[in-house]
């Protein structure tokens, strides 16, 4: 089963995304910030990461940079969801496979996930 990691400090958004992913047949795991996401990456070996930008401890940009440093994660697709500072995301768009501005359409994200990693 394809596992997707959802990273957001706002649990409601993480929950909504996870439920939609599970409805589509994926397995979803969650982390509330970038630092925790790195731990979950080691443990769960997901196929794709959906991350928020503005988070405590480690933000979405820092997470993406940390992943590119790691041999085992550098090729993992990353989707960024952002409610702010869209220009920072755009300047670093080489780090991300897709960027969604909040509030986003959940189904567009699911479609993008399917395009990037295939059907579950």
Whether residue 101 contacts residue 11, with contact meaning beta carbons closer than 8 Å, is answered with: no
Binding site for other proteins (CB under 8 A): 9-14, 32, 53-57, 82-85, 88, 102-103
Q: Which two tokens stand for residue 73?
A: 């994660």
At residue 6, φ and ψ (nearest 5 deg) are -110, 120
In the complex, minimum distance from the CB of residue 45 to other proteins, in angstroms, rounded to a whole number: 23
Whether residue 50 contacts residue 81, with contact meaning beta carbons closer than 8 Å, is answered with: yes
Q: Smaller CB distance to other proteins: residue 88 or 116?
A: 88
Q: Which two tokens stand for residue 100?
A: 């969604």
Q: Smaller CB distance to other proteins: residue 34 or 46?
A: 34
Q: Smaller CB distance to other proteins: residue 10 or 44?
A: 10
In the complex, minimum distance from the CB of residue 86 to other proteins, in angstroms, rounded to a whole number: 9
């Amino acid at each position: 089963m394809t596992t997707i990691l959802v990273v957001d400090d706002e649990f409601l958004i993480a929950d909504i995304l996870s439920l939609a992913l599970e409805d589509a047949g994926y397995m979803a795991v969650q982390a509330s910030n970038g630092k925790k996401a790195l731990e979950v990456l080691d443990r769960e070996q997901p196929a794709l990461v959906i991350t928020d930008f503005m988070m405590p401890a480690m933000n979405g940009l820092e997470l993406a940079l940390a992943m590119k440093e790691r041999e085992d994660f550098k090729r993992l697709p990353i989707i960024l969801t952002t409610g702010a500072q869209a220009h920072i995301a755009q300047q670093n768009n080489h780090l991300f496979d897709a960027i969604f501005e909040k509030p986003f359409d959940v189904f567009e994200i699911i479609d993008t996930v399917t395009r990037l990693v295939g059907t579950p």
